[in-house]
């Protein structure tokens, strides 16, 4: 019913506020849910829909009430077809019931009505795939994301825009322009979305935890963006809490570190998963 959807939206605080509260209560860590075939096997699970479901729900149950957010990797559900998407829907629903924020790592980016359809899927009220936030790619032009940016604002949800990633190929696009690099322009555009937000807005950035001195070399001021910073790469990808503190400096309070394999390798025991997550989180404090 439209009236019920409107009431739900009206009662929902903006994503930036909800994320800030979750980070203050539980610490600055987002746990990735990455059901790689190798991890399923290490847990003694089959690489099928049943294994996918057991893996995903175990992570949610272990982390709910203890961590700020969860980040399911959408591609690892899509590889199982429609049944895998149904597991993702169940994972998001269980997280919602358990009161833990979700970031769908979908990296969507397109133009026009196609981008609007992606926005409805991941951010629309009533969609079974709607998460608290979704990752987006701005490389068809930042304004191509406008349908998702506007819908997120209207529904109290958020987005995380790829800003500066640490994969070697990323520099060929993101670093172009030097002091006026592509990454810097994306980050400035995000700052305009968040103007006036305290402590940060609902339009976040994805900045790799292993970018090293790239922020300094490109003259990027993340603090000015007022964006929550999703920083993948902690743990298995090589970044430590100390590395991140050196790289991010003055914007440290905006950082939401994310770790997947480094924590998930501790499974399938829920208590062991939580212990691994707590150790990782404490390295960020």
Give the per-residue SS3 of 203-235: EEEEECCCCCCHHHHCCCCCHHHCCCEEEECEC
Which of the residues 107, 146, 175, 261 is marked catalytic?
107
CB 175 within 8 A of CB 200: no
In the three-class reduction of DSSP (H, G, I as helix; E, B as strand; rest coil), residue 108 is classed as strand
Query: What radius of gyration, in Å, describes the C-alpha atoms of the chain?
Result: 18
107 catalytically annotated: yes
The first and second tokens of residue 36, run together, are 């790689």
In the three-class reduction of DSSP (H, G, I as helix; E, B as strand; rest coil), residue 132 is classed as coil
Listed in sequence order, the DSSP H helices in the chain are 2-11, 15-26, 37-42, 49-63, 75-78, 81-98, 112-123, 146-155, 171-174, 182-193, 214-217, 241-248, 261-264, 270-282
Q: Which residues are catalytic?
A: 107
């Amino acid at each position: 019913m439209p009236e019920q959807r409107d009431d739900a939206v009206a009662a929902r605080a903006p994503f930036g506020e909800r994320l800030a509260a979750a980070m203050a209560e539980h610490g600055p860590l987002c746990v990735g849910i990455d059901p790689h075939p190798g991890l399923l096997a290490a847990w003694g699970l089959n690489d099928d829909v049943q294994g996918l479901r057991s893996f995903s729900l175990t992570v949610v149950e272990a982390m709910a009430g203890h961590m700020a957010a969860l980040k399911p990797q959408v591609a690892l559900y899509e590889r199982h077809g429609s049944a895998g998407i149904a597991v993702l829907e169940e994972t998001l629903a269980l997280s919602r019931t358990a009161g833990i924020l979700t970031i769908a790592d979908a990296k969507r980016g397109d133009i026009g009505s196609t981008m609007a359809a992606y926005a409805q899927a991941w951010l629309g009220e009533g969609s079974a795939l709607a998460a608290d936030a979704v990752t987006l790619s701005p490389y068809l032009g930042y304004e191509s994301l406008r349908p998702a940016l506007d819908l997120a604002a209207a529904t109290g949800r958020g987005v995380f825009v790829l800003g500066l990633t640490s994969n070697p190929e990323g520099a060929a696009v993101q670093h172009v322009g030097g002091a006026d690099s592509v990454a810097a322009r994306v980050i400035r555009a995000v700052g305009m979305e968040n103007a006036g937000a305290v402590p940060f807005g609902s339009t976040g950035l994805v900045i790799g935890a292993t970018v090293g001195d790239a922020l300094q070399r490109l003259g990027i001021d993340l603090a000015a963006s007022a964006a929550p910073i999703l920083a993948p790469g902690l743990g298995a990808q090589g970044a430590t809490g100390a590395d991140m503190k050196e790289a991010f400096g003055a914007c440290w309070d905006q950082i939401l570190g994310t770790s997947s394999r480094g924590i998930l390798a501790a499974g399938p025991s829920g208590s062991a998963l939580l212990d691994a997550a707590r150790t990782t989180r404490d390295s960020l404090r």
